[in-house]
């Protein structure tokens, strides 16, 4: 199921900051966002539901230690992906 990606301002800031620190990771982020848009639950993304303080959010892997955190939200009668954060495992959790 194809979903629209909606980047939050926090996601945009985090993505820019991460791309400056690790320029090679920018390509991995773009590829993962493309896969998320096409199928958020593709097994290669290792998408999983988060618990605790981040209950209601999902996380996908964009590399060994790179994560993208998002929520599934309704938009115009369909479901969209609200991108919340991107960074290493320790940065986003």
pLDDT, one tens digit per residue, over 13-52 is 999 998 898 888 888 899 999 999 999 999 999 999 999 9
**What average pLDDT score do residues 73-84 get?**
93
Q: What is the pLDDT of residue 19?
A: 87
Q: What is the pLDDT of residue 39?
A: 94
Answer yes or no: is 52 within a domain. yes
**Three-state DSSP state, 2:** coil
Which of the four pLDDT bands, split at 50, 70 and 90, describes residue 2? Answer: confident
Answer yes or no: is 93 within a domain. no
Answer yes or no: is 25 within a domain. yes
The CATH number that applies at residue 79 is 3.30.2310.20
Answer yes or no: is 16 within a domain. yes
| pTM score over 0.75 | yes
The β-bridge partners of 6 are: 82
4-7 β-sheet, strand order = 4-7, 78-88, 66-75, 58-61, 48-49
Find how far residue 72's CA is from the centre of its chain: 11
Q: What is the pLDDT of residue 56?
A: 94
Answer yes or no: is 22 within a domain. yes
| In the chain, % of residues over pLDDT 70 | 100
Cα 41 to Cα 48: distance, rounded to the nearest angstrom: 8
Cα 31 to Cα 77: distance, rounded to the nearest angstrom: 27
Cα 16 to Cα 18: distance, rounded to the nearest angstrom: 5
Enclosing domain of residue 24: 4-88
Q: How many domains does the chain have?
A: 1
**Three-state DSSP state, 16:** helix
Q: What is the pLDDT of residue 66?
A: 92
């Amino acid at each position: 199921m194809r979903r629209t990606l909606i980047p939050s301002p926090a996601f945009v800031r985090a993505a820019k900051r991460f791309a400056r620190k690790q320029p090679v990771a920018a390509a991995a982020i773009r590829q993962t966002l493309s896969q998320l848009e096409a199928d958020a639950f593709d097994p290669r993304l290792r998408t999983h539901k988060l618990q605790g303080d981040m209950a209601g959010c999902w996380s996908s892997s964009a590399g060994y230690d790179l994560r993208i955190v998002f929520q599934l939200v309704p938009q115009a009668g369909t479901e969209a992906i609200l991108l919340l954060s991107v960074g290493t495992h320790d940065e986003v959790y």
